[in-house]
């Protein structure tokens, strides 16, 4: 009987990996408003994921799979922390509401769970690709990745900045840079409104191994610095409400809601592995791997709040990882990492790409409680619809819509039954009219047949 307690004893004696969260930027895309500084003949529509972008996320998925497949799962005394086969109850995918992020998540899913890893086992070519659900909300309702595009407070603050003397000073500071960039190609004009597009196309040139010349490399670095300064200007005075609207829900999910659910599920998993096969098993699902795919400003804001020194903006398919562990005393702690760049042609394993992140007031192995205390003021854990969008975001929600006339009569307990009776009466009346019409039609047909028959006899 002692052997049944072996997984539990192992977990009590050694730190255990409980769950992993991977947040990445989408893969390479075409420019949103192309300047044609760099493009390829097979490029898709503006703003869409390219073939290289798909390959970057497929490679990222492979790296994550190989790394965590090699880690033992001491909670169940198995050889791998990561499930070999896909299961909707153990892996969660979420993407922002854009084709490039949804396609990136799909490509990463294929890297994580390649063909032959469903039911037939690895190497089984008859096993088809899996249907892997990727959660994504409508643009007008998406608040997890950033609510600034729907929050009146954030929209007003951004508009105020763009009309401020601070923005005027920004434009004046970087106008010489924009002028130099305009000379890179005949007919191209770079301004404060489109310089980010040029930076994206320069990054694409890097990604495709087509090295920029020395002048372009210097300009690319300056454009990157300009974009970082512009984004930093939106965060003047470290406005906590602005921070909340940008990453509040994301931090609340990654550092508060998910860890609580994961730790509870982990305890159930330990209990389950210690019970006999005939005992009642816990029904609580366990999701050890969560994949989020968003944008550069998501990743930049996460690293900014974590006070990571960012020498450049997040590259395509760069990522942020959160590992949730429990130590030998069953106290949860987290390890944070960043992945600077994904090179599809490199054989470098994930462990050599992970750059440790040390949050403020935290050791490298940061106790979960310390991390939560540090970011409590900008992490939102309440109800999204009622608490966040109305109270925090400043969005007015009215149901039914204000243009719709509200019924001010009796209660729904009276109105709904009356409407049901009215509907049944209308339906019955329609049937009566229909049957009466059919009966008259039948009589007319019969009368016409008799008349026709008598006429035929007279003519004969």
Q: What is the mean pLDDT of residues 196-212?
A: 88
Under 8 Å between Cβ of 344 and 235: no
Size (the chain), residues = 460
State the Cα–Cα distance between residues 143 and 252, nearest whole angstrom. 12
Element (H, E) at 69: helix 51-69
Residue 131 confidence (pLDDT): 77
Q: Of 123-137, 171-185, 427-441, 444-458, where does mean pLDDT reach its minimum?
A: 444-458
pLDDT recorded at residue 451: 47
Q: What per-residue confidence (pLDDT) applies to 269? A: 72
Question: For residues 150 and 301, is the Cβ–Cβ distance under 8 A?
Answer: no
Q: Token pair for residue 387?
A: 């608490």
Over residues 313-359, the pLDDT tens digits come to 999 999 999 999 998 888 999 999 999 999 999 999 999 999 999 98
State whether residue 45 is helix, strand or coil. Answer: coil
pLDDT mean over 388-413: 55
Which residues make Cβ contacts (< 8 Å) with residue 53, sequence separation at least 6? 26, 27, 28, 29, 100, 103, 104, 107, 316, 317
Higher pLDDT, 361 or 407: 361
Phi (first) and psi of residue 165, to 5 degrees = -70, -25
Q: Are the C-beta atoms of 315 and 203 separated by less than 8 Å?
A: yes
Q: In the predicted model, what is the mean pLDDT of residues 184-196?
A: 92
- Burial (0-12, 13-18, 19+ Cβ within 10 Å), 338: buried
**Distance of alpha carbon 79 from alpha carbon 72, whole angstroms:** 5
User: What pLDDT score was predicted for residue 155?
Assistant: 84
Phi-psi region of 77 (alpha: psi -120 to 50; beta: other; left: phi over 0): left
Collapsing DSSP to helix, strand or coil, 92 comes out as strand
d(CA 220, CA 38): 13
For residue 254, the tally of other CB atoms under 10 A from its CB is: 22
Cα separation, 62 vs 109, whole angstroms: 9
Peptide bond into 400 cis (omega under 30): yes
Closest C-alpha to 370, from 336, 338, 334: 334
Q: Is residue 115 scored above 90 in pLDDT?
A: no
Q: Is a pLDDT exceeding 70 seen at residue 207?
A: yes
pLDDT in tens, 265-299: 888 777 766 554 444 444 456 788 999 999 999 99
Please, which pLDDT band fits residue 128 given cuts at 50, 70 and 90?
Answer: low
Question: Could you tell me the pLDDT band of residue 414, with boundaries at 50, 70 and 90?
Answer: low
Query: H or E segment at 21?
Result: strand 16-25
Number of other residues whose CB lies within 10 A of the CB of residue 33: 11
Note the pLDDT of residue 22. 97
pLDDT band at 108 (very low <50, low <70, confident <90, very high): very high
The pTM score is 0.79
- DSSP of 111-148, one letter per residue? HHS-TT-SSS-TT-TTSPPP----B---GGG--SS--T
pLDDT of residue 348: 94
Of residues 324 and 12, more confidence is placed in: 324
| Sequence-distant (≥ 6) Cβ neighbours of residue 114 within 8 angstroms | 62
Distance of CA 421 to the CA centre of its chain: 46
Write out pLDDT tens, residues 91-105.
899 999 999 999 999
Give the pLDDT of residue 385.
66
Is the model's pLDDT at 455 over the cut of 60?
A: no
Closest alpha carbon to 117 in 127, 126, 105, 131: 127
Phi, psi of 96 (to 5 degrees): -70, 165
Q: Are 391 and 151 spatial neighbours (Cβ–Cβ below 8 Å)?
A: no
Residue pLDDT, tens place only, 243-273: 788 888 899 999 999 999 999 888 877 776 6
pLDDT band at residue 388 using 50, 70 and 90 as cut-offs: confident
User: What residues pair up with 291 in beta bridges, in sequence order?
Assistant: 22, 93
pLDDT above 80: residue 26: yes
Name the band, by pLDDT with cuts 50, 70 and 90, for residue 118.
Answer: low
Q: Cα separation of 368 and 419, whole Å? A: 55
The whole-number pLDDT of residue 454 equals 42
**Structure confidence at residue 183 (pLDDT):** 93
| Percentage of the chain lying above the pLDDT 70 cut | 78
Residue 234: predicted pLDDT: 76
Structural contact between residues 102 and 137, judged by C-beta atoms closer than 8 angstroms: no
φ/ψ of residue 108, rounded to 5: -65, -35
pLDDT of residue 103: 95
Instruction: For residues 124-146, give the mean pLDDT.
Output: 76
Residue 222 or residue 9, greater confidence: 222
Q: List, in sequence order, every beta strand (DSSP E) within 237-330.
A: 289-294, 319-326
CA distance 24 to 317: 6
**Rounded to 5 degrees, what are φ and ψ at 25?**
-80, 150
Contact 20, 291 (CB under 8 A): no
């Amino acid at each position: 009987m002692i052997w049944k307690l072996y997984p539990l004893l192992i977990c009590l004696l050694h730190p255990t990996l409980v769950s992993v969260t991977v947040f990445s930027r989408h893969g390479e895309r075409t420019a949103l408003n192309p300047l044609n500084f760099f493009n390829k003949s097979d490029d898709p529509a503006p703003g869409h994921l390219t073939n290289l972008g798909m390959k970057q996320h497929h490679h990222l998925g492979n790296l994550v799979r190989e790394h965590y497949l090699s880690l033992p799962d001491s909670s169940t005394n198995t050889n791998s922390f990561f499930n070999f086969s896909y299961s909707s109850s153990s892996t969660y995918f979420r993407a922002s509401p854009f084709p490039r992020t949804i396609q990136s998540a799909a490509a990463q899913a294929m890297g994580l769970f390649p063909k032959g890893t469903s039911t037939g086992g690895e190497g089984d070519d008859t096993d088809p690709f899996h249907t892997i659900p990727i959660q994504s909300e409508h643009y007008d309702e998406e608040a997890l990745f950033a609510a600034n595009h729907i929050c009146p407070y954030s929209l007003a603050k951004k508009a105020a900045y763009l009309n401020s003397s601070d923005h005027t000073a920004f434009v004046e500071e970087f106008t010489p840079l924009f002028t130099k960039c305009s000379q890179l190609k005949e007919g191209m004009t770079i301004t404060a409104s489109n310089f980010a597009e040029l930076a994206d196309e320069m990054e694409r040139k890097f990604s495709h191994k087509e090295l920029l010349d020395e002048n372009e490399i210097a300009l690319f670095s300056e454009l990157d610095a300009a974009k970082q300064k512009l984004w930093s200007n939106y965060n003047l005075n470290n406005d906590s409400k602005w921070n909340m609207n940008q990453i509040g829900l994301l931090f609340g999910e990654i550092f508060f809601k998910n860890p609580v659910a994961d730790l509870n599920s982990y305890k159930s998993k330990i209990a389950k592995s210690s019970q006999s096969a005939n005992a009642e098993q816990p029904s609580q699902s366990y999701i050890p791997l969560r994949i989020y795919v968003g944008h550069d400003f998501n990743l930049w804001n996460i690293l900014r709040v974590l006070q990571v020194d960012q020498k450049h903006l997040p590259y395509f398919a760069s990522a942020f990882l959160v590992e949730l562990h429990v130590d030998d005393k069953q106290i949860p702690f987290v390890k944070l990492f960043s992945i600077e760049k994904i090179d599809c042609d490199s054989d470098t394993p994930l462990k050599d790409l992970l750059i440790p992140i040390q949050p403020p007031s935290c050791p490298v192995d940061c106790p979960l409680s310390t991390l939560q205390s540090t970011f409590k003021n900008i992490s939102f854990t309440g109800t999204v619809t009622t608490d966040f969008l109305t109270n925090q975001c400043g969005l007015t929600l009215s149901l039914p819509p204000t243009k719709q006339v509200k019924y001010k009569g009796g209660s729904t307990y009276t109105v709904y039954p009356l409407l049901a009776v009215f509907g049944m009466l209308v339906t019955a009346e329609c049937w009566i009219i229909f049957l009466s019409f059919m009966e008259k039609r039948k009589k007319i047909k019969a009368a016409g047949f008799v008349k026709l028959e008598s006429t035929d006899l007279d003519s004969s």
